[in-house]
Amino acid sequence: MKITSARVIVTCPGRNFVTLKIETDQGVYGIGDATLNGREKAVVSYLEDHVVPCLIGMDPRNSEDIWQYLYRGAYWRRGPVTMRAIAAVDVALWDIKAKMAGMPLYQLLGGRSRDGVMVYGHANGGDIAETVDAVGAYIDMGYKAIRAQTGVPGVKDAYGVGRGKLYYEPADAALPSLTGWDTRKALNYVPKLFEKLRETYGFDHHLLHDGHHRYSPTEAAQLGKALEPYSLFWLEDVTPAENQEAFKLIRQHTTTPLAVGEIFNTIWDAKDLIQNQLIDYIRATIVGAGGLTHLRRIADLASLYQIRTGCHGATDLSPVTMGTALHFDTWVPNFGIQEYMRHTAETDAVFPHDYRFDRGMLYCGEAPGHGVDIDEQLAAKYPYKPAYLPVARLEDGTMWNW
Ligand X SMILES: O=C(O)C(=O)C[C@H](O)[C@H](O)CO
Is residue 170 involved in binding ligand X (CB under 6 A)?
Answer: yes
- Name the one range near ligand X by CB under 6 A: 27-35, 250-258, 308-316, 376-384: 308-316
Nearer to Mg ion, 262 or 373 (CB): 262
Nearer to Mg ion, 94 or 159 (CB): 159
Cβ atoms 398, 33 nearer than 8 A: no
For Cα atoms 61, 52, 57, give the angle at the middle one, nearest 5 degrees: 45
What is the chain's length?
Answer: 402
- Name the one range near ligand X by CB under 6 A: 5-13, 110-118, 175-183, 312-320: 312-320
Helix (H) or strand (E) segment spanning residue 327: helix 319-331
Strand partners, 358: 361
Is residue 316 involved in binding Mg ion (CB under 5 A)?
Answer: no
Closest CA to 59 of 7, 96, 110: 96
Taking the complex as a whole, the smallest distance from the CB of residue 122 to ligand X amounts, in Å, to 7
DSSP string, 113-176: S-SSEEEEEEEEESSHHHHHHHHHHHHHTT-SEEEEEE--TTSTT-TT--S-SS---S--BSSP
Taking the complex as a whole, the smallest distance from the CB of residue 263 to Mg ion amounts, in Å, to 9
Query: Which of ligand X, Mg ion, none does residue 205 bind (CB under 5 to 8 Å by kind)?
Result: none
Is residue 210 involved in binding Mg ion (CB under 5 A)?
Answer: yes
Q: What is the rounded radius of gyration, in angstroms, for the C-alpha atoms of the chain?
A: 20
Nearer to Mg ion, 210 or 329 (CB): 210
Contacts of 183 (CB under 8 A, 6+ apart): 214, 215, 216, 219
Judged by CB under 6 A, the residue of 11, 16, 24, 37 near ligand X is: 37
Is residue 33 involved in binding Mg ion (CB under 5 A)?
Answer: no
Site string for ligand X, 316-345 (x = CB under 6 A): x----------------------x------
Nearer to ligand X, 16 or 330 (CB): 16
Cβ atoms 103, 368 nearer than 8 A: yes
The residue with its CB nearest to ligand X is 314
- Give residues 199-218 in contact with ligand X (rule: CB under 6 A): 210, 212
Tell me the C-alpha distance between 138 and 97, whole Å: 37
Taking the complex as a whole, the smallest distance from the CB of residue 245 to ligand X amounts, in Å, to 22
Q: Among residues 212, 312, 327, 343, which one is catalytic?
A: 212
- Give residues 382-401 in contact with ligand X (rule: CB under 6 A): 389
Nearer to ligand X, 37 or 309 (CB): 37
Contacts of 49 (CB under 8 A, 6+ apart): none
- Name the one range near Mg ion by CB under 5 A: 138-146, 166-174, 256-264, 330-338: 256-264
Query: Which of ligand X, Mg ion, none does residue 316 bind (CB under 5 to 8 Å by kind)?
Result: ligand X
**Active site (annotated) includes residue 212:** yes
Is residue 182 involved in binding Mg ion (CB under 5 A)?
Answer: no
**Active site (annotated) includes residue 69:** no
Rounded to the nearest 10 degrees, the angle between the axes of helix 63-73 and helix 291-303 is 90
Closest CA to 273 of 286, 260, 285: 260
Closest CA to 269 of 79, 47, 69: 79
Nearer to ligand X, 237 or 373 (CB): 237
Nearer to ligand X, 96 or 190 (CB): 190
Taking the complex as a whole, the smallest distance from the CB of residue 343 to ligand X amounts, in Å, to 13
Sign of the four-CA dihedral 73, 75, 81, 87 = positive
Tell me the C-alpha distance between 72 and 30, whole Å: 23
Task: Please list, residue by residue across 226-265, b when 16 or more beta carbons sit within 10 angstroms of its beta carbon and e when fewer do.
Answer: bbeebebbbbbbbbbbeebebbeebbeebebbbbbbbbbb
Kindly give the residue spans of alpha helices, DSSP state H, lying in 202-318.
217-227, 246-253, 267-275, 291-303
Judged by CB under 6 A, the residue of 33, 95, 262, 329 near ligand X is: 262
Taking the complex as a whole, the smallest distance from the CB of residue 316 to ligand X amounts, in Å, to 4
Nearer to ligand X, 85 or 260 (CB): 260
Q: Is 317 helix (H, G, I), strand (E, B) or coil?
A: coil
Binding site for Mg ion (CB under 5 A): 210, 262
Catalytic residues: 159, 212
Binding site for ligand X (CB under 6 A): 37, 170, 210, 212, 262, 312, 314, 316, 339, 389
